[in-house]
Structure 1
Amino acid sequence: MSKDISKPEQLITEHIDIWTSAILAKSTSGRGSSKKYELYGITKLRELILELAVYGKLIPQDPTDEPAAVLLERIAVEKSQLVKDKKIKKQKALPSLEEAGVEQNTLPQGWTWAFMPQVIAHDDYAIKRGPFGSALKKAYFVNSGYKVYEQQHAINDDFSRGEYYIDETKFNELKAFEVKPYDLIISCSGTVGKVAIAPPNMERGVINQALLKIALNNNALINEYFKILFPAFFMRTDTLSDLKGTAQKNMVSVDTLRKEPFPYPPLAEQRRIVAKVDELMLLCDQLEQQTEASIDAHATLVEVLLSTLTDSADADELAQNWARIAEHFDSLFTTEQSIDALKQTVLQLAVMGKLVSQSSDDEPASVLLEKIAEEKEQLIQEKKIKPRKALPPIEDEERLFDLPLGWEWCRLDDICDGITSGSTPPRSSFIDDTGIPYLKVYNIRNQKIDFEYQPQFIEEGYHSSSLKRSQLCPGDVIMNIVGPPLGKIAIIPDTYPEWNCNQAIVMFRPFISNLNKFIYTYLVSGMFLDKIALIGTAGQDNISVTKSRSILLPTPPLAEQHRIVAKVDELMAICDQLKEKLKQSQETQVQLTDALVDRALG
């Protein structure tokens, strides 16, 4: 951190380890998740480059440049003459720099503070917010004519998108909102601050209410510089910085832009700044691509090496494959993604019978299943449970893998007393903070019950009389059957003696209670999802109760189940420790990045 960072290239190249190492994990779930990480360091570097640019710290000043104040004076004289000639209207008086709360001596040599009205085109409509819904109702849209430019055009910097048009009569009525080639359009609600330059070959049209257009006097402020200025300066002002991601009512206003002074460089320096920013952003692009390629290559390597474990034919091959991974453990498991992959591999090895050794002294799983079947039949005869419709026999193609000696395949219905989904009681049965805890899918977090998150209770009387089917006990295994994402699993804790749940959750209660932890382990592995037919409705995946009953379980001897669960708990604890160390390392990298940014700006 002691090296000179006065040159932007040095800022990148001499601290590349800091920019590329500051990587944060994203919270992702369900479908549509893309990258599971954020390149925090490179993002901060991009922001820093822009901020240095708009405060005159990115490139040296040239004393031969015409000072910005002189240029503004000449433009003011031109406008004054146009007003006298009645070609444009007289503009409102601008606030003084003192009224605006800025000081001239805070800027580099040749720079000055300016206001947008000083640098826009000589046009009454040079800054204009799009018309609101009353002017652009859907009823006015036609198949072809004059295009209606929307927020997506600014966000994506693509003027070919969109499908809304108005006819010539409506266009003439909204002529003040016309956007022309080389105008700037700004996204000014919701996703605030995206700027695009209208291309020369654009379709003629108007902006809608989510956009603000600016026509600059490019002899005073060039478009490409404004694209740097707006996010790096205007969006960081007290007036606009709180608008990012806010609702429609919080919008960038024309009045705000007119009254906000900004640091204004000489015209020649603007061009040099734009060229330097383009050059450095290209370097950032390359840095980003290299970092992403490295992350992807690392993830692929981890995936390939871990797959050798689950694909191992026998214990000897597994030991050899693990030795290869263990030799490079510290360099392989350095990201949250890789640690999660390790966790998943541990689960798969566990339920495939490859995590702990088998013992010939263990009572085979076939004997265990026979005892459960006998107990089940006895309970039916005693009318303590009702007989259920038999499920089809297990077919060869249903089996996910070959089982070790002493293991057996069974369906969860074979070993569970009840497999039912919950139900939704009437609102009148809910009470504030006492009674029976009532679970929804959001209470299953990180494969555990989190009842502190939005807890709900129902009346004990209604639970006992009307919700018998969905009553839960400590030790029951539950799973969400409506997604995405599917595969949220938990064991009901003993913090309450009884529980209940809604219809998006299914319950498994094994005849032998201590089977629950291995059932939980298998369901958490998610391997069963590869063989289950999902029902999709309204963008959701669903598992029916019948399909839940049919889930195949690779069943080890009971003693081996206990050894497997203990080993999984041990290894998961190690993985969690790795994650905690990783989190601390990431926090350190972020602090280093922020310190470097603060030093550069200071």
Structure 2
Amino acid sequence: MSFVDDLAALVAASTNPLVYGRPDWPRRKLGEVARIVNGYPFQSSAFNSERGHPLARIRDVLRGWTETFFDGPHLAEASIHDGDLLIGMDGDFNVGCWHGGPALLNQRVCKVVADPALLDARFLFYVLPAYLKLINDNTPSTTVKHLSSRTLASVPLPLPPLDTQRRIVARVDELFSDLDDGEEELARARADLSTYRKSLLKAAVTGDFTADWRAANLPAEHGTDLLTRILADRKARWTADQRNTGRRHAEPAAPDMDANAHLPHGWAWAGIEQLTTGGIRNGLSLKESSEPTEVKGLRLDALQPRGVDWERTRYLPISIARAAPYRLRSGDLLISRANGSPDLVGRCSLVTDSRDDTIFPDTAIRYPLWGEEVIHRWVSMAWSAPQTRARMLASAKTTAGILKISQGDIATVPLPLPPLAELREIVRRYDATLAETEAGWLEMRTLASASATLRQTILAAAFRGDLI
């Protein structure tokens, strides 16, 4: 939905120091001191990853570059260049500075061109986000939030003299430069820790983590024995269900195997469908309810690597009874089947508690996993491992810039299955080692939060005129 309030009144009533302007600084509407250029509705059928002209989409606003190309005719007015200020007109109303070279501007993104005689472009970059957040906070959210060009043009910006704007920008740039250095070091440390965690997961899933354990322990059963037991129990459950009387049981799909694939002694390969109790299905596609209801649906961003975030939901206009086939139970593994980012498509999230009032989104697939919690953890780990994701991404297909993976694609991905005793030992060691890294991870989050707060403090001081 779009913003409908009196923006000038909201600004006057706001206690946010970032929308404060010194009393001797007049306010001018953005549309009076800058030109707003809307993006063009390019045909998505001509989107691709290598041919034509780079295309800036709403997801590219913050990062300032794109991986999408448009192979077709275009208008010169829809062009952008390095240094252009872009705004996402849906969702969070993000502001970004483009540095991806000449590109085309897609719909739902606009560029703002400051009048150089009145407004410094860098000053605008610093001052505008707080006003867009104020608009966003006061825009109804029963559907996706929309920012109109008319609302954007009405933003009442504080407008000190141009020389003062430039002095403010110079001082903010200087202070932010020190923070940039610290944040770059923090980003490197975070990347190193992330790399370590990935290598840890890879070692766990390939068996390197427990090579010493295997040498000292002979398992009572092999991975093939465990898989046989799972499949037999799965079939017995299916046969016992009266709804299946008279029907022929279909074996779950086995994975496609690489002739050169190697496993430690005693391990087996399995497909994810083989490791479930059945009941695999895509989620339900429904529009969000404008009023609270008895059923909530997970948003796609609720699927987090460490489990489902139950706070990221929306109300849905259906009954508990209608939602029953899509409700979530402990041991369900949710896999994202569509996303614009290669890092997010195919990502899994393990459900660890049961919810009758919450269902999963249509962009996810539910796999009810067989067995005890430690087996659920193993399957989640195995699916998330770098080598598994590489195999999965090789099967993903791109449609209009969105990566998609189907149930059939997922079924072909092989997952390693160790003997149950070793599986338990791997999960125990992995969780213990991961816990040791948690303190460092939390410290980095605290430092990043402190740096972000300091940036806001600097900007607040700048807009009070305290830095000049």
TM-score range, shorter chain: 0.5 to 0.7
Which of 196, 213, 216 does residue 358 from structure 1 map onto? 213
Please give the residue correspondences for 1:33-52 in structure 2 after superposition, counting only pairs within 5 Å: none
Which of 161, 171, 189 does residue 262 from structure 1 map onto? 161
Shift of 1:372: 2.4
1:555 corresponds to = 417
Question: Secondary structure of 1:418's partner?
Answer: coil
On the 8 A contact 2:269/2:414 being kept in 1, the answer is yes
* 2:347 paired with 1:474: no
Please give the residue correspondences for 1:438-453 in structure 2 after superposition, counting only pairs within 5 Å: 438-453=297-312
1:520 corresponds to = 380
Shift of 1:559: 1.5
Counterpart AA for 1:474: S
- Alpha-carbon displacement from aligned partner over 1:458-513 (angstroms, at most 9, x marks no partner): 4232245xx3xx45422222211111321332222324368643432222223324
Q: Which runs of 5+ in 1 are unaligned?
A: 1-99, 103-112, 117-126, 134-155, 166-184, 195-207, 217-225, 266-272, 300-334
* 2:440 paired with 1:582: no
- Alpha-carbon displacement from aligned partner over 1:87-110 (angstroms, at most 9, x marks no partner): xxxxxxxxxxxxx965xxxxxxxx
**How far apart, in 2, do the equivalents of 1:193 and 1:426 lie?**
32
**How far apart, in 2, do the equivalents of 1:476 and 1:213 lie?**
55
* 2:406 paired with 1:544: yes
Shift of 1:439: 3.5
Please give the residue correspondences for 1:500-519 in structure 2 after superposition, counting only pairs within 5 Å: 500-514=359-373, 515-519=375-379
Question: Secondary structure of 1:361's partner?
Answer: coil
- Alpha-carbon displacement from aligned partner over 1:376-423 (angstroms, at most 9, x marks no partner): 454555566652266467432583xx3222211122222322262234
**How far apart, in 2, do the equivalents of 1:503 and 1:523 lie?**
20
On the 8 A contact 1:429/1:459 being kept in 2, the answer is no
Shift of 1:285: 12
* 2:201 paired with 1:347: yes
On the 8 A contact 1:421/1:503 being kept in 2, the answer is no
**How far apart, in 2, do the equivalents of 1:591 and 1:503 lie?**
37
Q: How large is the RMSD of aligned CA atoms in angstroms?
A: 5.5
Question: Secondary structure of 2:230's partner?
Answer: helix
**How far apart, in 2, do the equivalents of 1:358 and 1:392 lie?**
29
**How far apart, in 1, do the equivalents of 2:450 and 2:36 lie?**
48
**How far apart, in 1, do the equivalents of 2:449 and 2:370 lie?**
47
**How far apart, in 1, do the equivalents of 2:75 and 2:288 lie?**
48
* 2:191 paired with 1:337: yes
On the 8 A contact 2:255/2:414 being kept in 1, the answer is no
Shift of 1:344: 1.6
**How far apart, in 2, do the equivalents of 1:471 and 1:193 lie?**
39
**How far apart, in 1, do the equivalents of 2:288 and 2:352 lie?**
26
**How far apart, in 1, do the equivalents of 2:348 and 2:190 lie?**
21
Counterpart AA for 1:525: A
**How far apart, in 1, do the equivalents of 2:414 and 2:361 lie?**
24
Q: How many residues are treated as equivalent by the alignment?
A: 357
- Alpha-carbon displacement from aligned partner over 1:46-99 (angstroms, at most 9, x marks no partner): xxxxxxxxxxxxxxxxxxxxxxxxxxxxxxxxxxxxxxxxxxxxxxxxxxxxxx
Question: Secondary structure of 2:331's partner?
Answer: coil
Q: Structure 2 length normalisation: TM-score?
A: 0.57
- Alpha-carbon displacement from aligned partner over 1:279-308 (angstroms, at most 9, x marks no partner): x9999999999989x869x95xxxxxxxxx
**How far apart, in 1, do the equivalents of 2:366 and 2:249 lie?**
18
Shift of 1:519: 0.5
Counterpart AA for 1:413: E
1:374 corresponds to = 232
1:90 corresponds to = none
Which of 320, 345, 355 does residue 486 from structure 1 map onto? 345
On the 8 A contact 1:415/1:510 being kept in 2, the answer is yes
On the 8 A contact 2:349/2:380 being kept in 1, the answer is yes
Counterpart AA for 1:576: E
Question: Secondary structure of 2:277's partner?
Answer: strand
1:170 corresponds to = none
**How far apart, in 1, do the equivalents of 2:438 and 2:240 lie?**
47
Among the aligned pairs, what percent are the same residue?
Answer: 15
Counterpart AA for 1:163: A
**How far apart, in 1, do the equivalents of 2:230 and 2:130 lie?**
65
On the 8 A contact 2:33/2:119 being kept in 1, the answer is no
Change (3 A) 1:415 1:592: closer
**How far apart, in 2, do the equivalents of 1:452 and 1:596 lie?**
32
1:454 corresponds to = 313
2:271 corresponds to = 411
Shift of 1:369: 1.8
Q: Which one has the largest radius of gyration?
A: 1
Change (3 A) 1:186 1:353: closer
Counterpart AA for 1:531: R
1:47 corresponds to = none
Please give the residue correspondences for 1:211-360 in structure 2 after superposition, counting only pairs within 5 Å: 211=113, 213=115, 231=122, 242=131, 248-250=149-151, 262=161, 335-356=189-210, 357-359=212-214, 360=217
Q: Structure 1 length normalisation: TM-score?
A: 0.46
Shift of 1:544: 1.0
Question: Secondary structure of 1:506's partner?
Answer: strand
On the 8 A contact 1:440/1:504 being kept in 2, the answer is no
Counterpart AA for 1:338: D
**How far apart, in 2, do the equivalents of 1:287 and 1:536 lie?**
41
On the 8 A contact 1:422/1:505 being kept in 2, the answer is yes
**How far apart, in 2, do the equivalents of 1:486 and 1:556 lie?**
26
Counterpart AA for 2:330: P
Change (3 A) 1:588 1:408: same
- Alpha-carbon displacement from aligned partner over 1:128-148 (angstroms, at most 9, x marks no partner): 876999xxxxxxxxxxxxxxx
Change (3 A) 1:131 1:288: closer
Shift of 1:555: 0.5
Question: Secondary structure of 2:269's partner?
Answer: strand
Change (3 A) 1:398 1:587: same
Question: Secondary structure of 1:536's partner?
Answer: strand
On the 8 A contact 2:223/2:419 being kept in 1, the answer is yes
On the 8 A contact 1:447/1:524 being kept in 2, the answer is no
